[in-house]
Chains A and B, each alone.
Chain A
Amino acid sequence: MHLIQIKNLHAAIDGKPILKGLNLTIDRGQIHAVMGPNGAGKSTLAKILAGHPAYEVTEGEIWFKGQNLLEMAPEERAHAGLFMSFQYPVEITGVSNRQFLQIALNAQRKSRGDEPLSNEEFEQLLKEKMVMMDVRSEFSERSINEGFSGGEKKRNEILQMALFNPDLAILDETDSGLDIDAMRIVAAGVNQMRNQDNGLLIITHYQRLLDYIRPDFVHVLADGQIVRTGGAELAQELEAKGYA
């Protein structure tokens, strides 16, 4: 069974078609990168996979671990092991990171029939991941993403990924707004999580993140469709020659 299989996906926002017959299959243990110019539909793809209500799927199917993803609510997708790192993580005033992450992790555990983590167990796990992602210790008591720099917000996304340990992680433009040190930390976090059982979809405009996280496949998304597929070397070619 494929980890995820996207078949002939058509999608629109506010009646405007964005994706026009996209096909993509990812198996466990694989890293795929989707690259493409602005407006090609890269972020639309990420948001549809996570279940954003503003996007309307007009045609096509998505199967995630054998389940019909399009029938699942966003929280059910998370429970099933899908994670999307937001391009623009939202700031939520008054809700602490710690509270949010503990509720989220325990909701995911509950859906899989696992016991919730106690405060102490969660604290320990969070601390470990915070060290890994080089996140400041005051982070856990602060409101979600409030007052975080762009780089901190992205590190927070990867920290969540490390915490939830999803089967499929989608990184939507995670490299945008990251300086080179932050990029190394993010890449190290991602690489540490890589194994034969999970898959990764990296959506990016530039090749630079792919210098740190080497993809098995690179796809070019243009005008709502995958127009080219190749190996890691395709990213270098695109960087040199552009998308045209």
Chain B
Amino acid sequence: MGIQLIGIAFGLFMAYLTYLYYKRKNLSFNDLAIWMAIWAGFVFVTIFPEALEGFVKPLMFYRLLDLLMVVSFMVLFVLIFLMYSTNRKNEQKINRIVREIALKKER
């Protein structure tokens, strides 16, 4: 029960943080919808872990916790990859902007 309470509190806190970022216009409505769905799913699984029980055996996992760990790592790696590629794209854009400004404003 203790771990469930922590999970629920974490999910709600992240949902609040997401809303705050949306209100500050750091996130679009689409971002808000996607992240809220993720946090809602997280809270749901925390409250009703047995909802995933049906996946444990067919996927050859020993315990529900193992399944959650594997899925969590997969999600994390996807997020890291997306962040890395976004970062690289932004880096290239910054490079172009900085160089163009420098070359246009020669003194």
- Real binding pair: no
Residues of chain A having any CB pair with chain B under 8 Å: none
